[in-house]
Amino acid sequence: MRSAIEGARLHYDMPERTRKLVRSSVRRAGRRPLFFRWDWRYLWIPLAATAVIILSILPFLGHWGAQDRLSQEIVDAHVRSLMPGHLTDVVSSDQHTVKPWFNGRLDFSPSVSDYASRGFPLSGGRMDYIGDRPVAVLVYQRRKHFINLFSWPSAGASTSAERTTVHNGFNVVHWIQNGMSYWAVSDVNQNDLQEFIGLLRGATH
């Protein structure tokens, strides 16, 4: 059968317009570093002006600066996910479908539970890219709101207390538990979010 199939010339050649489109698409993604759109030619002006200031306070920024950057990345990713078609890669309320979906896509296996009986049904999951690494995102729903739960293996501490902040109107909670770094983002009210996190933290013990 092999030679006959080959002989029938069934291989589809890539159209030139598609080739060009994909290449320019990748190049655009490569040129635009994550969340900024800068005109590199004029960058030297503000850089020179702020270089001295930054260098002098650099020793003090340390941990907190990194955390704030990460918070902003997380919130940006959350907002992007709320745009049509960007919320989930795997759509399922079944944890036995969502959990294995991450196999082969991540170098860790996120724990997945469904809390539909408590009013927080699982909507699905997706891959995302935060802090220079691929991360797992589980999407839960609370009435008409979505909660994005980001998780990845913690690079530093294996435990940390919960830290709650508000960014752009979204409630953001971060904690580290059992070596995994968790970030929950949502526009649900603080009470609901805390209830959800309580369920999560109980399940992963």
Partner 1 sequence: MEPQEKLERFERSVIPYMDAAYNLARWLARNDQDAQDIVQEAYLRAFRFFDGFRGGDNRAWLLRIVRNTFYTFLQRNRKEEAIATLDEELPVAESDSKRPDTLLLREADSELLRDAIEALSPEFREILVMRELEGLSYKEISSVAEVPLGTVMSRLARARQQLREMLAEGFGERGAAKRTARIRGV
**Residues at the interface with partner 1 (CB under 8 A):** 1-2, 4-6, 8-15, 17-19, 21-23, 25-27, 29-31, 33, 85, 89-91, 103-105, 107, 127, 129, 132-134
> Can you tell me which residue has the tokens 């059992």?
178
Comparing CB distances to partner 1, the nearer of 180 and 193 is 180
Comparing CB distances to partner 1, the nearer of 62 and 85 is 85
Element (H, E) at 185: strand 180-186
Nearest approach, Cβ of residue 173 and partner 1 (Å):
25
Task: Name the token pair of 205.
Answer: 């013990």
Beta strand 160-167 pairing with 145-153: unpaired
Tell me how crowded residue 103 is: count the other CB atoms within 10 A of its CB.
Answer: 8
Nearest approach, Cβ of residue 29 and partner 1 (Å):
5
Nearest approach, Cβ of residue 198 and partner 1 (Å):
32
Nearest approach, Cβ of residue 57 and partner 1 (Å):
25
Q: How open is the CA angle 181-164-167, to the nearest 5 degrees?
A: 100
As a whole number of angstroms, the distance between CA 111 and CA 143 comes to 23
Task: Name the token pair of 8.
Answer: 């029938």
Instruction: List strands edge to edge, sheet with 145-153.
Output: 90-91, 122-130, 133-142, 145-153, 180-186, 170-177, 160-167
Nearest approach, Cβ of residue 17 and partner 1 (Å):
8
Comparing CB distances to partner 1, the nearer of 122 and 197 is 122
Comparing CB distances to partner 1, the nearer of 14 and 45 is 14
Nearest approach, Cβ of residue 34 and partner 1 (Å):
9
What values do phi and psi take at 178, rounded to 5?
Answer: 50, 40
Comparing CB distances to partner 1, the nearer of 17 and 144 is 17
What values do phi and psi take at 140, rounded to 5?
Answer: -115, 160
Comparing CB distances to partner 1, the nearer of 8 and 55 is 8
